[in-house]
Structure 1
Amino acid sequence: MNPVLTAASTVTCAHPPGTVRVTGSPRLTVAGAGVLTINGVQGAPLTTVGPLTTCGSLPQANPLTKKCASVLTVTGGFAPRLTVGGMPVLAQAGFAGMTDGVVANVGPQPGLTAIANQAMLTVG
């Protein structure tokens, strides 16, 4: 089964340690954490632990490179049979998206990934 993503899930960009600060829906919770829909991920900022404030492994000095700062779009992981407020809930399998980062003059950057960190609520 495919675990549903919640506010307690780990969502990261392809350039560790960039972590997305997601927002779960209070309408449906799993172990106290709201489930994620596109609204809780798309547009969300990326942060890192420590002194860096955005996706940390890419140098800012090169004009052809821009650190990831936010999620532009979610492109996969939708659970169409489970919705909250008319929006499909997001699940771990197939989850994908793009950030606003630029590497070697190529952007937006793919590689958004998620780990559910829960197995109580799954979708088929």
Structure 2
Amino acid sequence: MSALTDDSRCPCGLGEPYGVCCGRFHRGAATAPTAELLMRSRFSAFAVGDTAYLTKTWHPKTRPAGLALDPGQRWTFLEILGKTGGGLLEIEGTVEFRAHYRQDRRPGSMHENSRFVRIDGQWIYVASAD
């Protein structure tokens, strides 16, 4: 996990400062307007260790009872590989991504095609669409 300031580059990969990018979602000052931005903000939450945000943006039917992040795993960058739906006027979408990390000084990555739904105007992560 890393400590970021609002002026740090956001881990999500958009190149914006954390405070005006994913940090505003993590603080609750705004909600992600698209499924892709929710995916990016969730990646950033993993990078900064924000389990409260991850839990809040996880569908209650698929959310784990507890969420403990591995302190030895450092999420390094995110690649968006594709997406379907998930736009401003839609209620469902998928985002395919590859999330890169380092663990025990070794690089690794995970690939997923995530499914998102919008409930009461808020995008939430449901589960892997694979």
**TM-score normalised by L of structure 1:** 0.34
The structure with the larger Rg is: 1
**TM-score normalised by L of structure 2:** 0.33
Structure number with higher relative contact order (C-alpha < 8 Å, ≥ 6 residues apart) = 1
Q: Which has the higher helix share?
A: 2
